[in-house]
């Protein structure tokens, strides 16, 4: 494959752009169906309590109410049933338990019952009429407290109290490695629970038809996962459920799990009408999955040459109410940027009385990178080595083995560090007093997972692309561009449509930075099949054996036809051409990202102003550079918010006191400068165009980069994120 491209690397306008700037694009909450009614969810005010009684009779009696459901409305199923959506096993009891509580509520905001009524106002009034008797239980809100002897136990059936899972990665000889060190630094850092903060609240509309089919329209990162999870929860065959993914208003990992879909379906079954459920912002904060708070210890030893001789980490992540804290990826990535011989990593998945956590952009990695990258900053300072130089001396390379097993193929760690070092930003002086510059890097695996695509050639020479990847930030276009590159067309000659689960082959979530990589590969393969079939048509037309195809032109023996000219003759050469591909790629390429950030800290108030930011990331190959930059800028902004101000502020009873955008304090336009970007391209050998995936690695460095910048500005090494003004002043 040639490395000069016609379409890849350009910046065409997105295919869904006009719809999205004119208000025509239909998001889940925009759906209006005939006879549709609306629902409301009743949530627990207690962080931990036994449910003694639920009386729904007053709600059912309210005029305008069509249906009320509780966990008792789930069909019977074996308690120990395990469901698998291709990305890990989940006990059905956890899945159901989080959707509608049964027996106990495990966090404030836990859904207990749901109502469907003539409109959302009446539904909310009815929900308030449901009587629930609780027996409040003591709650536990942090991992260290939940691991301590005598802590309140969330799940009595667990063997190890609140520790749901433990992992251990070991390689080399840790003691010998530390013995070789001339400097050892050990630090412990905590991070608070934070939310993805997507602007569109979760929503789902369901219609359970009299023929048994369940149709769901929702805001999801993965229509097939939503289908499979809903089918599992409702104990119906997957083929009975059809999910139509609506446009999605952000997800960042938070819209993979199902919350509303099965509830809307149960309500619809009872009411005999389509039922729409839309979360309030407070519901989103308290009733969906934030990403874990954590405590991470990192101990690193280096020799005089600045080479790491040993590294050790202990990680405890808060899973929330049900197991599944992102401690495994946290542990796998804690030292993933570095070539280290002697390593020990221990991780603990700990349940606490907070919302059950979910993925958030490189889930688990920012928490652990914070510890590693601040310890390295301290080491660099103590050794008198430039912090990027220290990292370069230890950077992971092709062949480096990670403690959890795999050896890297090509990896862009050195290239990212070199680009950071060479950037104008890194070489510019700081603007004045109370300013500091911090750097950090981070790794994310990216994902493969199955994807499907169908290409159909139109007689006018354009091509329809049917795919199943929710378009969360321009993937219709990044996929179309890959088809166009193979077919010798322009991006605008491809007409992409994201379709429902009945209309395309299985496709995994838009997550794991995988869509441009994996669905891109399916599109690439389908496009190559189209080329082969078109060549055969040309061969038939010209009665030749072999046809060449280059730059959109078919040729043989001095004859030639453009793609469009040949497309016009398909009818007379055997009929339409339509090709499908389903892939399950193994050649995933991990991505390294780095951040340089300058801050100014007001010594009197502790307030941090972000002055200048440069995000650097290995994209493998940037298909649409503007969208790659956008991912880098977005991940950086989220990481800065996480570092400086965002947190779940819980009172002692486990109630979230800041469950609104006013007090959750995500960055506004006035809180950030322009975010400079440097795209590094170290091609992934596992993808025909070299794509790695760029959605996630960019959020890994900001926590540590901010911490290092604040240290350089104030002389204080903080042991807690968010590093908000009061924390910086120690007040």
Partner 1 sequence: MSAKVQVQTTINNEPVEFLCEPRQSLLECLRDVVGLTGTKEGCGDGNCGSCTVKLGDRIVTSCLVLGVEANGESITTVEGLAHGNTLHPLQKAFLEHAALQCGICTPGFLIAADALLQKHPQPTEEQTRFWLANNLCRCTGYDKIIRAVQAAATEITTTKSNGAAQ
Partner 2 sequence: MKAFDYAAPASLPEAVGLLASQPSARLLAGGTDLLVQLRSGRKEADVVIDVKKIPELNEITFSPETGLTVGAAVPCYRLTAHAAVQTHYPALVEVASWIGGTQIQGRASLGGNLCNSAPSADSIPLLIALGATALVAGPSGRRTIPVEEFCTAPGRNQLAPGELLVSLHIPAPAPHSGASYLRFIPRNEMDIAVVGAGASVTLTDGVITAARIALSSVAPTPLFVPAAGEALLNQAPTPAALEAAAQIAQEAASPISDMRGTAAYRRHLCAVMTRRALELAVARAQENN
Report, as residue numbers or ranges, the catalytic residues: 696
From the list 611, 666, 725, 727, which residue makes contact with partner 1 (rule: CB under 8 A)?
Answer: 666
Per the CB < 8 A criterion, the answer to whether 412 and 680 are in contact is yes
Subset of 688-717 contacting partner 2 (CB under 8 A): none
559 is a site residue for partner 2 (CB under 8 A) = no
CA–CA separation, 514 vs 209, rounded Å? 34
415-438 in b/e form (b: 16+ CB < 10 A) is: bbbbbbbebebbeeebeeeebbbb
In whole angstroms, the minimum distance from the beta carbon of 28 to partner 2 comes to 21
Residue from 681, 666, 585 nearest 628 by CA? 681
- Judged by CB, which is closer to partner 1: 228, or 247? 247
Subset of 642-661 contacting partner 1 (CB under 8 A): 660-661
For the CA atoms of 83, 86, 87, 92, the dihedral, rounded to the nearest 10 degrees, stands at -10
From the list 575, 670, 674, 715, which residue makes contact with partner 2 (rule: CB under 8 A)?
Answer: 670
Size of the site for partner 2 (CB under 8 A): 26
In whole angstroms, the minimum distance from the beta carbon of 203 to partner 1 comes to 10
Which residues of 372-500 form beta strands (DSSP E)?
435-444, 451-457, 463-467, 494-498
Query: Which phi and psi angles does 332 have, rounded to 5°?
Result: -70, -30
Number of residues that this document lists for the chain: 731
Q: Which does 72 bind (CB under 5 to 8 A by kind): partner 2, partner 1, none?
A: none
Q: Looking at 119-127, 180-188, 385-393, 680-688, which segment touches partner 2 (CB under 8 A)? A: 119-127
Name the 3-class secondary structure at 663.
helix
- Judged by CB, which is closer to partner 1: 18, or 72? 18
Q: What is the DSSP string of 60-120?
A: HHSTTEEEEEEGGGSPP--TT-EEE-SS-EEEHHHHHHHHS-BSEE-STT-EEEEEEESSH
Q: Which does 605 bind (CB under 5 to 8 A by kind): partner 1, partner 2, none?
A: partner 2
Q: Which does 178 bind (CB under 5 to 8 A by kind): partner 1, partner 2, none?
A: none
568 is a site residue for partner 1 (CB under 8 A) = no
33 is a site residue for partner 1 (CB under 8 A) = no
Q: Looking at 120-128, 485-493, 516-524, 588-596, which segment touches partner 2 (CB under 8 A)? A: 120-128
In whole angstroms, the minimum distance from the beta carbon of 106 to partner 2 comes to 22
Q: In the chain, count of helices (H) and strands (E)?
A: 20, 29
CA–CA separation, 237 vs 245, rounded Å? 19
From the list 636, 684, 708, 714, which residue makes contact with partner 1 (rule: CB under 8 A)?
Answer: 636
Residue from 132, 8, 4, 3 nearest 484 by CA? 8
How many Cβ atoms sit within 10 Å of the Cβ of residue 643?
29
From the list 10, 180, 240, 280, which residue makes contact with partner 1 (rule: CB under 8 A)?
Answer: 280
179 is a site residue for partner 2 (CB under 8 A) = no
From the list 5, 6, 10, 11, which residue makes contact with partner 1 (rule: CB under 8 A)?
Answer: 11
DSSP state of 327: H
Distance between first and last Cα of the chain: 60
Per the CB < 8 A criterion, the answer to whether 620 and 416 are in contact is no
Subset of 444-473 contacting partner 1 (CB under 8 A): 472-473
630 is a site residue for partner 1 (CB under 8 A) = yes
From the list 87, 125, 418, 492, which residue makes contact with partner 2 (rule: CB under 8 A)?
Answer: 125
From the list 1, 34, 550, 670, which residue makes contact with partner 1 (rule: CB under 8 A)?
Answer: 670
From the list 199, 422, 428, 459, which residue makes contact with partner 1 (rule: CB under 8 A)?
Answer: 199
Q: Which does 658 bind (CB under 5 to 8 A by kind): partner 2, partner 1, none?
A: partner 2
In whole angstroms, the minimum distance from the beta carbon of 534 to partner 1 comes to 31
Residue from 370, 512, 525, 528 nearest 448 by CA? 512
39 is a site residue for partner 1 (CB under 8 A) = no
**Residue whose tokens read 């090709």:** 579
620-642 in b/e form (b: 16+ CB < 10 A) is: bbbbbbebbbbbbbbbbbbbbbb
263 — alpha (psi -120 to 50), left (phi > 0) or beta? Answer: alpha
From the list 17, 152, 552, 587, which residue makes contact with partner 1 (rule: CB under 8 A)?
Answer: 17
Instruction: List the x/- string, 52-91, binding to partner 1 by CB under 8 A.
Output: ------------x---------------------------
- Judged by CB, which is closer to partner 1: 45, or 667? 667
Q: Which two tokens stand for residue 172?
A: 């080399």
- Judged by CB, which is closer to partner 2: 124, or 541? 124
134 is a site residue for partner 1 (CB under 8 A) = no
Omega before residue 131 within 30° of 0, cis = no
From the list 379, 644, 691, 707, which residue makes contact with partner 2 (rule: CB under 8 A)?
Answer: 644
Subset of 646-665 contacting partner 2 (CB under 8 A): 649, 657-658, 661-663, 665
How many Cβ atoms sit within 10 Å of the Cβ of residue 35?
9
Q: Which two tokens stand for residue 466?
A: 């049917």
16 is a site residue for partner 1 (CB under 8 A) = yes
Subset of 254-273 contacting partner 1 (CB under 8 A): none
- By the criterion CB under 8 A, which residues form the site for partner 1? 11, 13-14, 16-18, 20-27, 29-30, 32, 64, 121-122, 196-201, 247-252, 278, 280-281, 472-474, 626-627, 629-631, 633-634, 636-638, 660-662, 666-670, 672, 674-675
């Amino acid at each position: 494959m040639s490395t000069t491209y016609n379409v890849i690397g350009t910046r065409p306008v997105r295919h869904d752009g006009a719809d999205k700037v004119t208000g025509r694009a239909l998001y889940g909450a925009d759906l209006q169906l005939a006879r549709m009614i609306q629902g409301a969810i009743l949530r627990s005010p207690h962080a931990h309590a036994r449910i003694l009684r639920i009386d729904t009779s007053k709600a059912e009696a309210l005029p305008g109410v069509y249906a009320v459901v509780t966990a008792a409305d789930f069909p019977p199923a074996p308690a120990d049933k395990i469901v698998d959506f291709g990305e890990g096993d989940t006990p059905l009891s956890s899945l159901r338990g989080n959707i509608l509580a049964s027996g106990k509520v495990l966090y404030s905001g836990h859904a207990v019952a749901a109502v469907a009524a003539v409109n959302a106002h009446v539904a909310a009034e009815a929900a308030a009429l449901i009587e629930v008797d609780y027996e409040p239980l003591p709650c536990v809100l942090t991992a260290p407290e939940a691991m301590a002897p005598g802590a309140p136990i969330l799940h009595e059936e667990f063997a190890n109290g609140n520790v749901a899972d433990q992992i251990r990665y070991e390689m080399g000889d840790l003691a010998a490695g530390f013995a070789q060190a001339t400097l050892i630094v050990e630090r412990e850092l905590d991070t608070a629970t934070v939310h993805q903060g997507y602007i569109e609240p979760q929503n789902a509309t369901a219609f359970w038809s009299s023929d048994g089919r369940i149709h769901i329209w929702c805001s999801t990162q993965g229509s097939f996962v939503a289908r499979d999870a809903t089918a599992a929860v409702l104990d119906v065959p997957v083929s009975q459920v059809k999910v139509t993914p609506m446009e999605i208003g952000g997800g960042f990992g938070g819209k993979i799990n199902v919350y509303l879909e099965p509830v809307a379906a149960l309500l619809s079954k009872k009411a005999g009408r389509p039922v729409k459920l839309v979360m309030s912002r407070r519901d989103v904060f308290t009733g969906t999955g934030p990403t874990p708070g954590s405590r991470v210890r990192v101990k690193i030893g280096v020799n005089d040459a600045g080479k790491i001789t040993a590294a050790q980490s202990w990680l405890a992540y808060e899973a929330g109410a049900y197991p599944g804290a992102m401690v495994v990826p946290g542990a796998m990535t804690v030292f993933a940027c570095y070539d280290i011989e002697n390593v020990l990593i221990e991780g603990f998945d700990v349940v606490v009385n907070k919302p059950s956590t979910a993925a958030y952009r490189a889930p688990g990695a920012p928490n652990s990178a914070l510890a590693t990258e601040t310890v390295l900053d301290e080491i660099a300072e103590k050794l008198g080595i430039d912090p990027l130089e220290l990292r370069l001396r230890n950077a992971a390379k092709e062949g480096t083995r990670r403690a959890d097993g795999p050896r890297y193929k090509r990896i862009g760690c050195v290239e990212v560090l070199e680009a950071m070092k060479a950037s104008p930003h890194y070489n510019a002086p700081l603007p004045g007093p109370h300013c500091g510059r911090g750097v950090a890097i981070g790794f994310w695996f990216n994902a493969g997972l199955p994807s499907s695509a169908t290409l159909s050639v139109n007689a006018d020479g354009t091509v329809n692309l049917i795919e199943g990847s929710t378009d969360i930030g321009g993937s219709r276009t990044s996929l179309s561009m890959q088809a166009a590159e193979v077919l010798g067309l322009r991006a605008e000659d491809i007409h992409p449509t994201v379709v429902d689960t009945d209309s395309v082959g299985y496709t995994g979530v838009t997550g794991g930075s995988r869509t441009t990589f994996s669905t891109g590969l399916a599109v690439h393969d389908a496009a190559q099949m189209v080329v082969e079939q078109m060549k055969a048509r040309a061969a038939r037309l010209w009665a030749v054996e072999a046809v060449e195809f280059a730059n959109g032109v078919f040729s043989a023996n001095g004859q030639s036809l453009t793609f469009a000219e040949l497309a016009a003759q398909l009818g007379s050469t055997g009929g339409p051409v339509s090709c499908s591909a389903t892939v399950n790629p193994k050649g995933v390429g991990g991505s390294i990202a780095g951040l340089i950030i300058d801050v100014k800290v007001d010594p009197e108030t502790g307030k941090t102003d972000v002055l200048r930011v440069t995000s650097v990331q290995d994209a493998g190959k940037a298909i649409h550079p503007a969208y790659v930059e956008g991912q880098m800028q977005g991940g950086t902004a989220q990481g800065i918010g996480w570092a400086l101000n965002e947190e779940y502020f819980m009172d002692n009873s486990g109630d979230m006191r800041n469950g609104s955008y006013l007090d959750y304090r995500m960055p506004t336009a006035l809180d950030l400068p322009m975010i400079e970007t440097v795209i590094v391209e170290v091609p992934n050998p596992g993808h025909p165009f070299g794509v790695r995936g760029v959605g996630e690695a960019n959020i890994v460095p900001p926590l540590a980069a901010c911490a290092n910048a604040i240290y350089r500005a104030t002389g204080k090494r903080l042991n807690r994120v968010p590093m908000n003004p009061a924390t910086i002043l120690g007040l």
